[in-house]
Amino acid sequence: MITWNMRHKSGEKDYFERFARWKMIIIFLVLALMLTITFAVTIGPKQIPPLDAWRIIVKNIPFLGNLVGDGSSGVEYSVNQSIVLQIRLPRIIAATIVGVALAVAGVVLQGLLRNPMADPYVIGISSGAALGASIVIGLGIGFSFLGIDAIQLMAFIGGLITVFVVYNIARTGPKVPMLTVLLAGIAITSFLSAIISFIMITLGESLHALVFWLFGSFTLSSWDNVAVAMPVIIIGLIVIVIFARQLNIMLLGDDQAQQLGVDIEKLKKIMLIVASLITAAAVSISGIIGFIGLIIPHIARILVGPDHRILVPSSALAGAIILVLCDTAARTIMEPVELPVGVFTAFFGVPFFLYLLRKKKSLIM
């Protein structure tokens, strides 16, 4: 087990070395993610050689594509090409961005709420999105708007409306006490869950579709889904990285953060909006995938320390890696039967987390 946050001696000289160390961590994780994606592309009902897979991918990137030679262009190659481009890659990219979104939203909410039990769903996004999805499935609506299907759209909107309601319930004047946000989120979640249960009972044969959605799955992921969610998640990630230093200070509590020059109410508002948007974007393409948003931030914190400037990017990359691996397991282990990916995030994530927890003894926060 590598631990990156080795104790430093004599802070001054080493202080700026930490930035170099952070760069190394990020480069390492990016390489690990590439490797994971390569692995995920190659395995499935039809094995595809890694080199072929990369040739296919790179050829389809504008400009870069011209640099690679044509290679074998037989029938075999074109079959592989459509498997990679049409079936596996959209799914893998979807898992990547959902992993990024959930892990990063988890980091942000745990920091803002100063609560290690917080995850991206704690403020009600999941239940709102689930309600949106169950209404669509229940009423059997099937439209598509700019390539976004009805479930994705309604899940996204449902999630955001719920957060908006929670936020406004918690707000007292200009201030938003985060503990009240947490409690209001839990209350609204229970309330919406009751409604969803009611809908489920009346559903009949489409129950299966909803249950599958609720467990989380990338079965239906397409380039269209990805194209809509990806910009939201990337922009959200950038905003969060920009605010990373302020998020560190936020951990000292509202009063101290304010006295150190952080505009706390503005920060809370921006972070809640961004975390909600990226979570809603993630949920809208994959349904509700558990554990990533709770456990990845903790794993990352144990490995790289509490500073959000490294915690956010490394959580994002770790979330992507783990979720791609889990999804690969979900679609290959019991072929041709697909398992819900949430089964694997819990199955792999929790033991790994517990292992680190015991090794570290103290939970950081």
Residues that bind another protein (CB under 8 A): 7-12, 15-16, 19, 242, 245-246, 248-249, 251-252, 255-256, 258-264, 301, 305-307, 309, 364-365
Q: Looking at beta carbons only, is 42 or 315 nearer to another protein?
A: 315
- The H or E element spanning position 58 is helix 50-59
- The rounded distance, in Å, linking the Cα atoms of 249 and 245 is 7
* Shortest spacing between CB 245 and another protein, in angstroms: 7
DSSP symbol at 205: G
DSSP-assigned letters across all residues of 145-195: ETTEEHHHHHHHHHHHHHHHHHHHHH-BTTB--HHHHHHHHHHHHHHHHHH
Q: What does each C-alpha distance from 245 to 5, 105, 108, 260, 326 come to in angstroms?
A: 18, 16, 12, 12, 31
Count Cβ atoms below 10 Å from residue 327 Cβ, excluding itself.
Answer: 30
* Shortest spacing between CB 19 and another protein, in angstroms: 8
Q: Looking at beta carbons only, is 294 or 310 nearer to another protein?
A: 310
Alpha helices by DSSP H, listed for 114-149, are 125-139
Virtual torsion, Cα 41, 45, 51, 57, nearest 10 deg: -40
* Alpha carbon 149 to chain centroid, angstroms: 20
- The rounded distance, in Å, linking the Cα atoms of 263 and 177 is 14
Q: Looking at beta carbons only, is 10 or 73 nearer to another protein?
A: 10
- The rounded distance, in Å, linking the Cα atoms of 136 and 328 is 28
* Shortest spacing between CB 263 and another protein, in angstroms: 5
Q: Looking at beta carbons only, is 59 or 114 nearer to another protein?
A: 114
Q: Looking at beta carbons only, is 62 or 261 nearer to another protein?
A: 261
Q: Looking at beta carbons only, is 7 or 358 nearer to another protein?
A: 7
- The rounded distance, in Å, linking the Cα atoms of 233 and 200 is 30
* Shortest spacing between CB 304 and another protein, in angstroms: 11
Q: Looking at beta carbons only, is 5 or 193 nearer to another protein?
A: 5
* Shortest spacing between CB 5 and another protein, in angstroms: 9
Q: Looking at beta carbons only, is 264 or 272 nearer to another protein?
A: 264
Task: Answer whether 102's CB lies under 8 Å from 289's CB.
Answer: yes
Contacts of 227 (CB under 8 A, 6+ apart): 147
* Shortest spacing between CB 65 and another protein, in angstroms: 34
Q: Looking at beta carbons only, is 207 or 252 nearer to another protein?
A: 252
* Shortest spacing between CB 121 and another protein, in angstroms: 23
* Shortest spacing between CB 108 and another protein, in angstroms: 16
Structure tokens at 3: 């631990």
* Shortest spacing between CB 94 and another protein, in angstroms: 31
- The H or E element spanning position 31 is helix 17-42
- The rounded distance, in Å, linking the Cα atoms of 335 and 341 is 14
